[in-house]
Amino acid sequence: MAKTPKFKNAKVQAWVDQWVKVCDPDKVVVIKGTKQEHTDICEMMVKKGQFVKLNQKLRPGCYLARSHESDVARVEGRTFICSKKEIDAGPTNHWKDPDVMKKEMLKKYKGCMKGRTMYVIPFAMGPIGNPITQYGIEVTDSPYVVVNMNIMTRTGDAVMKILDKGGAFVPCIHSVGAPLKKGQKDVAWPCAKKIDDKYITQFPEDGEIWSFGSGYGGNALLGKKCFALRIASKLAKDQGWMAEHMLILTLTSPEKKKYHVTAAFPSACGKTNLAMMLPKLPGWKLETIGDDIAWLKPGEDGRLYAINPENGFFGVAPGTSNDSNPNALLSCKKNTIFTNVVLTPNGDIWWEDMGIDAPEEGIDWKGNPCYRCVDDTKRMGPKPGMTKAEVKAAGYVAAHKNSRFTAPAVNCPVLDKDGFNGKFNKKPTGVPIDAILFGGRRPSTIPLVNEAKSWTHGVFMGSAAGSEVTAAVIADNIGQVRRDPMAMLPFFGYNVADYFQHWLEMERTSANPANLPKIYFVNWFRKGEDGRFMWPGFGDNSRVLKWICQRIDGKVAANETAIGNLPKFEDIDLANNEGKFKVVEDDLKEILKVDVEGWKKEIATVGASYDEYDAKASKDSTAVNKAARRVPAALRGILAQVTEALSK
Ligand code: OXD
Ligand code: MN
């Protein structure tokens, strides 16, 4: 058996000892978190054919990985919340009894690291030493996970020092589930090929994360979705704070007043784009604190203070361009890992809708040759001489739709360094949040921006969030609207209805509810009947953010409607309405209106989603068992109020 390293923290020792015994790796390496160690692991992977080293002049410190075709996204169907009682996992999660699940998974883990190295990664979610930060230990047999965790979290000795002093941590175990026989050559992307052999399992009551069989993204980088959202949301409920699927940004007005905003949008709905946006409005400055996850804690003044627990961006590559997000492109100029994008002949990368010409030929995400289309320089096909239409008909993409860049946050040219380091006015409090935005891709009905009339109304808005399904999850219903309350559907660590209640509790228990952030619902994705977007999005979204800041400051009145407070057309600043994308005034007027008939249908489906949560809670799929109702009455109250107001 491999020699187990010695740790000062007895719990770390026990966690590692346990898994060395079960998984039987060839050796065990504790990650120190140095630059040299990171480079050495990347270079080892290049030698083994698991990484391609990119042109170091064009992309210093950058590498490309290609995953197995069965391992390209989160696997929601194989993600489990194993609380003791099924009802505590709630109707939106897959559940299994924790003892049964542990038994089942232990069989999988038995000998699963034979022929491999076990890495022990001490990591921090948040700036090391910040009072909001939490710590973890991920044991993994994937060097890909190690180098991605190095970017996405703060890893190594600095964390271990805190654990050495007895610091608490979330224990995580991960294996790709592909042991090697003696002398067996490794493959480029080891993983369990069958979907049923993959497990992404959270034990919220033990605070443990067990992952098996996948090496991709949130399935394997356990600090991200598993810890910072699923486990942390349960911790947050128990301790009176919030773990949310939200970007955090800092906005500075021409008068130099700073505002901090969080926004919860479902996966692949533009959180990274908004987090790094270049405001089109003159004089406004936007800086990034985080693009995916926010932890918010109430302060003594009743404000919510936020940190970004992550250290990097795990961004969706296709669609990231100089038009949509130049700062994201700049963020992946160096020290970045690309997964499942196209390799160009000069050792660079390319993806669909990158906004630049495709190379004449390249290597696609599956490792096969690909060629520029004859009639479109911005598309590639699997054979030479193909047209864009032929490629589309073949359903081919050269970069996978969920291909990613893993880029260090410090690369971002507009990073708010203080906020990112958890500081506000030099104090490690996190930043005070002025506004919370919810949103999603909603082609119809939902207006450009809608202000909640109260905290409870805002919670209602969040509970009603939904979006078109995107490629960030494996799903066969791409394009349809799915309800995604607070953009947390795949990430709740407990019962969705209790989560709504927890949001309501944040007001009830607040030291000063008047200081809670104002809540808004935004929709950048309205389409006309002809299918065109009615709002340009991207930098033009600064017009909406300005209106929100003005509302916070009480500077503008709003149209008070049945569904919430909407801007008056003249209060959306249209300065600098120039360039490739422009606001069309008639479209703007349209998306500031209440579509009463559309909203009646919308509200009915929100009510149906509540009924479904309650029906599932009572284990009765045909009728709502009133006794088992778990969705808070206050939210049903808002539902009734909006329904009534719409019928007037
Ligand atoms: C992500 C996601 O990768 O939400 O951030 O799926
Ligand atoms: Mn996300």
User: Among 23, 42, 172, 269, which one carries the catalytic annotation?
Assistant: 269
218 close to ligand 1 (CB < 6 Angstrom): yes
Structure confidence at residue 648 (pLDDT): 85
Characterize the bridge pairing of strands 52-53 and 154-155: unpaired
b (16+ CB within 10 A) / e for 252-278: bbeeeebbbbbbbbbbbbbbbbbbbbe
- The pLDDT-based confidence of 625 (bands split at 50, 70, 90) is very low
- The pLDDT-based confidence of 618 (bands split at 50, 70, 90) is low
- The pLDDT-based confidence of 477 (bands split at 50, 70, 90) is low
127 close to ligand 1 (CB < 6 Angstrom): no
pTM: 0.96
326 close to ligand 1 (CB < 6 Angstrom): no
Q: CB–CB of 374/387 below 8 Å?
A: yes
Torsion region of 355: left, alpha or beta (phi above 0 gives left; psi -120 to 50 gives alpha): left
Could you say which ligand is closest to the alpha carbon of residue 405? 1
Closest alpha carbon to 318 in 370, 263, 264, 364? 364
Tokens of 378: 């911005």
Ligand 1 pocket test, pick from 74, 214, 221, 274 with the greatest ligand atom count within 8 Å of Cβ, gives 74
Torsions phi, psi of 331, nearest 5? -65, -25
* C-alpha to C-alpha distance for 172 and 77, rounded to whole angstroms: 20
Q: If you take atom 2 of ligand 1, which residue's CA is the nearest one?
A: 267
CA of 236 to the centre of ligand 2 (A): 18
Q: Is the confidence at residue 177, as pLDDT, over 80?
A: yes
Structure confidence at residue 624 (pLDDT): 46
CA of 48 to the centre of ligand 2 (A): 31
Task: For 158-174, write each residue's pLDDT tens digit.
Answer: 999 999 999 999 999 99
Least confident of 89-98, 373-382, 474-483, 488-497: 474-483
Task: For 226-257, write each residue's pLDDT tens digit.
Answer: 999 999 999 999 999 999 999 999 999 999 99
Torsions phi, psi of 109, nearest 5? -70, -20
Structure confidence at residue 622 (pLDDT): 45
472 close to ligand 1 (CB < 6 Angstrom): yes
The mean pLDDT of 108-129, rounded to a whole number, is 98
Give the nearest ligand 1 atom to 404 CA.
3
Q: CB–CB of 361/370 below 8 Å?
A: yes
Distance of alpha carbon 116 from its chain centroid, rounded? 30
Structure confidence at residue 475 (pLDDT): 55
217 close to ligand 1 (CB < 6 Angstrom): yes
The mean pLDDT of 619-645, rounded to a whole number, is 78
Q: CB–CB of 76/474 below 8 Å?
A: yes
CA of 28 to the centre of ligand 2 (A): 31
| CB atoms inside a 10 Å sphere around CB 489 | 21
CA of 6 to the centre of ligand 2 (A): 36
Task: For 183-215, write each residue's pLDDT tens digit.
Answer: 999 999 999 999 999 999 999 999 999 999 999
314 close to ligand 1 (CB < 6 Angstrom): yes
Task: For 393-452, write each residue's pLDDT tens digit.
Answer: 999 999 999 999 999 999 999 999 999 999 999 999 999 999 999 999 999 999 999 999
Q: What is the mean pLDDT of the chain?
A: 95
**Which residues, at least 6 apart from 177, have a Cβ–Cβ distance to it below 8 Å?**
108, 112, 190, 191, 192, 197, 198, 212, 213, 214
Q: If you take atom 4 of ligand 1, which residue's CA is the nearest one?
A: 267
Tokens of 565: 């407070």
Eight-state DSSP code of residue 268: T
Could you say which ligand is closest to the alpha carbon of residue 312? 1
Q: CB–CB of 66/343 below 8 Å?
A: no
CA of 270 to the centre of ligand 1 (A): 11
Q: Is 327 exposed, middle or buried (0-12, 13-18, 19+ CB in 10 A)?
A: buried
CA of 384 to the centre of ligand 2 (A): 36
| CB atoms inside a 10 Å sphere around CB 573 | 17
* C-alpha to C-alpha distance for 404 and 86, rounded to whole angstroms: 34
pLDDT above 70 as % of the chain: 96
Ligand 1 pocket test, pick from 225, 245, 274, 405 with the greatest ligand atom count within 8 Å of Cβ, gives 225
Per the DSSP assignment, residues forming a β-bridge with 208 are 203
Q: Is the confidence at residue 478, as pLDDT, over 80?
A: no
Q: Is the confidence at residue 460, as pLDDT, over 50?
A: yes
Ligand 1 pocket test, pick from 229, 291, 314, 405 with the greatest ligand atom count within 8 Å of Cβ, gives 314
Structure confidence at residue 185 (pLDDT): 95
Q: Is the confidence at residue 18, as pLDDT, over 50?
A: yes
Measure the CA dihedral 229/230/235/238, to 10°.
110
Structure confidence at residue 470 (pLDDT): 56
- Residue given tokens 């989560």 in the structure block: 499
Task: For 502-548, write each residue's pLDDT tens digit.
Answer: 999 999 999 999 999 999 999 999 999 898 999 999 999 999 999 99
For 51, 263, 287, the CA distances from 436, given in Å and listed in that order, are 39, 6, 16
Return the H-helix or E-strand segment holding 314.
strand 312-316
Ligand 1 pocket test, pick from 200, 267, 269 with the greatest ligand atom count within 8 Å of Cβ, gives 267
Structure confidence at residue 626 (pLDDT): 47
Structure confidence at residue 471 (pLDDT): 57
pLDDT above 90 as % of the chain: 92
Closest alpha carbon to 225 in 190, 201, 254, 259? 201
Q: CB–CB of 61/46 below 8 Å?
A: no
Structure confidence at residue 531 (pLDDT): 87
Characterize the bridge pairing of strands 449-451 and 518-522: antiparallel
The three state secondary structure string of 620-647 is CCCCCCHHHCCCCHHHHHHHHHHHHHHC
292 close to ligand 1 (CB < 6 Angstrom): yes
What is the total residue count of the chain?
A: 648
* C-alpha to C-alpha distance for 540 and 546, rounded to whole angstroms: 10
Q: If you take atom 6 of ligand 1, which residue's CA is the nearest one?
A: 267
CA of 267 to the centre of ligand 2 (A): 5
Characterize the bridge pairing of strands 518-522 and 435-439: parallel
- Residue given tokens 């800092």 in the structure block: 250
CA of 472 to the centre of ligand 1 (A): 6
b (16+ CB within 10 A) / e for 355-364: eeebbeebbb
**Which residues, at least 6 apart from 313, have a Cβ–Cβ distance to it below 8 Å?**
272, 291, 292, 328, 331, 405, 406, 407, 409, 412
Give the nearest ligand 1 atom to 74 CA.
6
Q: Is the confidence at residue 623, as pLDDT, over 80?
A: no
- Residue given tokens 């991709």 in the structure block: 216
* C-alpha to C-alpha distance for 111 and 535, rounded to whole angstroms: 55
Active site residue 549: no
* C-alpha to C-alpha distance for 589 and 199, rounded to whole angstroms: 48
* C-alpha to C-alpha distance for 377 and 399, rounded to whole angstroms: 15
Characterize the bridge pairing of strands 117-125 and 154-155: antiparallel
| CB atoms inside a 10 Å sphere around CB 417 | 12
Structure confidence at residue 620 (pLDDT): 44
What residues have a C-beta under 5 A from ligand 2, the ion? Answer: 267, 292
* C-alpha to C-alpha distance for 147 and 43, rounded to whole angstroms: 11
Tokens of 276: 């790094």
74 close to ligand 1 (CB < 6 Angstrom): yes
3-state helix, strand, coil in the chain (%, to 5): 30, 20, 45
Q: Is the confidence at residue 321, as pLDDT, over 70?
A: yes
Task: For 332-351, write each residue's pLDDT tens digit.
Answer: 999 999 999 999 999 999 99
HSE, side-chain direction, 13 A CA sphere, residue 479:
1
| CB atoms inside a 10 Å sphere around CB 485 | 25
DSSP string, 551-613: HHTT-S--EE-SSSEE--GGGS--TT--SSS---HHHHHHHTS--HHHHHHHHHHHHHHHHHH
Task: For 276-320, write each residue's pLDDT tens digit.
Answer: 999 999 999 999 999 999 999 999 999 999 999 999 999 999 999
Q: Is the confidence at residue 617, as pLDDT, over 70?
A: no
Give the nearest ligand 1 atom to 316 CA.
3
* C-alpha to C-alpha distance for 356 and 235, rounded to whole angstroms: 44
| CB atoms inside a 10 Å sphere around CB 475 | 15
Closest alpha carbon to 316 in 396, 388, 217, 213? 217
Give the nearest ligand 1 atom to 472 CA.
6
Give the nearest ligand 1 atom to 491 CA.
4
More confident residue, 462 or 581: 462
Q: If you take atom 1 of ligand 1, which residue's CA is the nearest one?
A: 267
Give the nearest ligand 1 atom to 217 CA.
3
491 close to ligand 1 (CB < 6 Angstrom): no
Tokens of 223: 């600090």
CA of 3 to the centre of ligand 1 (A): 36
Ligand 1 pocket test, pick from 76, 214, 216, 292 with the greatest ligand atom count within 8 Å of Cβ, gives 292
CA of 75 to the centre of ligand 1 (A): 11
**Which residues, at least 6 apart from 630, have a Cβ–Cβ distance to it below 8 Å?**
90, 495, 497, 498, 613, 614, 617
